[in-house]
Each structure stands twice: as structure tokens, then as C-alpha cells.
Amino acid sequence: MRTASTTSHPAEPDFVAELARLSAARGILVAVDEVQTGFGRTGRLFACEHFGLEPGLLCLAKSIAGGFPMGALLASDRIQGPVGAHGSTFGGNPLACAVANRTLDCLLAESLPERADEEGSRWLSRLRRIDSPLIEEVRGLGLMVGIQLRERVAPHLDALADSGVLALAAGPKVLRLLPPLNIDARDLETVAEKIRWVLGVSRQPRE
């Protein structure tokens, strides 16, 4: 198996299908961490929906409450036993739960998973057309994108930040892009232009 940092490789459908088969055949619990991929990021409400995978446990946080601190562990009703026996000082916080409810309402009302799916696949194609020898691969799902470079990404992140685009690395050579799910197509194009510019494909970044 390839070693990779968390966001840098979408799961292979065959791998997930085999995981589901093994878990069903041997009674193994599949725990899926959707702290980053959940709530529309990959173009579905949860990334496991891309694969038809029904997790035994689903870990959620970050976008669950639109920036308000919250985490949640969901357990399938196939699971019987002491999942509910865990205690937590701030668990079940009513304010956090209210914010999460409202966040989910907005996410669904604005069809953000569908937007991430449509804008994300258009953007992926756009980024794949950047003709640079520095790019090894562009991959992603929805609005979760990684650009695998053939060299260290850090200087490019600095140049992007100077031009107004905040991005992170996923490992030493992957440019990680997680734009807001409500970003418009024009801003996505601006980011693509600025990436072309920092990679030396074009001369002038367009504003």
C-alpha cells in the first residue's frame, strides 16, 4: 500500500469494496473518520456515500457546526453494547447541537454537497489542464483537491499566500486545496490562474 498523509489520496473503490466485504464476512467494525471529508466536502454529504459503504462508526467534527467547536461519534444501530457508556464533560452540549442543526439546515438548503460535486469536478479538470512539468498528478473528490508536485511545496504555498490564496500542504510535496463549499466559479478560476503563476506556467497573476 502507498503511504500517504491523510488527505492526499482518495480511497480506491476496490479497496473500500473489499473492506466492506471483509467486515461483513468476519463481523469487523469499520470506523470511518469523516472529520475532514464530511458535510459535503467531497460532493456527497459523507464521503462513504461515494462507495456505498455503511460504516459501523462515523467520526465527525470540524464542519459539523460550521466552525463552532463540536465533535460527534455516530454508531450504527447494528452495534449493540457499551458505545453509549462513554462520558464527556462537555458532551451533548445544547448550544453546539443547536449550531450543528442550523449548519446542516443551511448546508442542505444551499445544496452545498451538490455544488461541491459540480464545481469540484469542473475545477479538477481545469487544474488537470495546467501544463507544468512540476505537477505529477492532480487528484481529489468534490472540493477536496491535492496537487502532487515533483518538488517541495512549501515555497509555492508562500507565493500563493502572497497572492492572496491560503492553502496547506499534505505531506512535503502535495498542495492541498480545501476551498469553502460556497465558493463561486470565478474565484475557483482565480485560484487556478494563481497556481499557474506560482508554478511558472503564466507570467502575471490575474486579480
DSSP 3-state of 113: helix
Q: Residue 41 has which C-alpha cell?
A: 466536502
- Member of 10, 66, 71, 171 binding ligand PLP (CB under 6 A): 71
Q: Is 10 in the site for ligand PLP (CB under 6 A)?
A: no
Please report which residue ranges of 62-128 form alpha helices under DSSP H.
94-109, 112-128
- Member of 11, 33, 56, 134 binding ligand PLP (CB under 6 A): 33
CA distances in angstroms from 90 to 45, 93, 94, 100, listed in the order given: 26, 6, 9, 15
Given the rule CB under 6 A, which of 30-38, 50-58, 72-80, 134-142 is the region that contacts ligand PLP?
A: 30-38
Residue 71 or 171 with smaller CB distance to ligand PLP:
71
Which residues touch 178 (CB under 8 Å, ≥6 apart)? 7, 36, 41, 143, 144, 145, 168
Residue 100 or 199 with smaller CB distance to ligand PLP:
100
CA 12 to chain centre: 15
Residue 19 or 192 with smaller CB distance to ligand PLP:
19
Q: Is 36 in the site for ligand PLP (CB under 6 A)?
A: yes
Q: Is 61 in the site for ligand PLP (CB under 6 A)?
A: yes
Q: Which residues bind ligand PLP (CB under 6 A)?
A: 6, 33, 35-36, 61-62, 71
